Amino acid sequence: ACAGDTVLVEGTAFTIQDPDGLVTIFNGAANGCDSLLSVIINFTIPPEVELMGDDILCLGDTASLEFEVDNGGGLNIVLAEESGQTQVLSGIGNGSTLDVIPEFSTSYTIVSASSGNPCPVVFDPTDTVFVGVDRIVGSLSSEFNQSGFQIRCAEQNDGELILEMLEGSPTY
């Protein structure tokens, strides 16, 4: 049985907090006598996994997503990006990492997890890790001066360059 389960034996409930005891089975013997049954239920604590690694980085840099695993290891995990693209990861244990180099800011979420343990892996499917990509995107243009000329000569006041930042965080 898995932690959190309740096992009923002849109407007596056994849980991880109360895994053993005596149960009477009235008229349970072949001769009509009552039977006394000693019950011991082994409860298994399921593995738990959490994804860590919120980060802000520059385009082309690497972020490390880290898996925190309790009560086991060797997990098989399906990880999804915000775009819906998935990756299947095997052998994930506590402290396992996955390096990612996203082109755009994105979130990562565990969508499924399994192990050799008969109990389901515990994870929060709404828990996400955000990796922000600080992209520097700008627009450069020139303005005509009063005479109708664009920039022509260095050190001359005959035009203007305009740099407009569209994405990114100061300082550029």
> Each residue of 103-121: pLDDT tens digit?
889 999 999 999 988 899 9
Instruction: Look at residue 58 in the predicted model and tell me its pLDDT.
Output: 86
Strands 75-81 and 106-114: antiparallel
Mean pLDDT, all residues of the chain: 87
Residue in the block written with tokens 């990114």? 168
- Residue 74 is encoded by which pair of tokens? 């060797």
Check residue 74 and report its DSSP letter: -
Residue 46's closest CA among 136, 123, 103?
123
Distance CA 62, CA 164 (A): 27
Q: What are the pLDDT digits (tens) for 14-39?
A: 999 999 999 999 988 889 899 999 99
pLDDT at residue 68, rounded to an integer: 97
Stated pTM of the model:
0.71
The answer to whether the CB of 117 falls within 8 A of the CB of 72 is yes
Kindly report, residue by residue over 131-164, the tens digit of the pLDDT: 998 876 667 666 666 666 566 666 666 666 676 7
Q: Are 49 and 72 in contact (CB under 8 A)?
A: no
Question: With 90 as the cut, is the pLDDT of residue 166 above it?
Answer: no
The residue that leads in pLDDT, 56 or 134, is 56
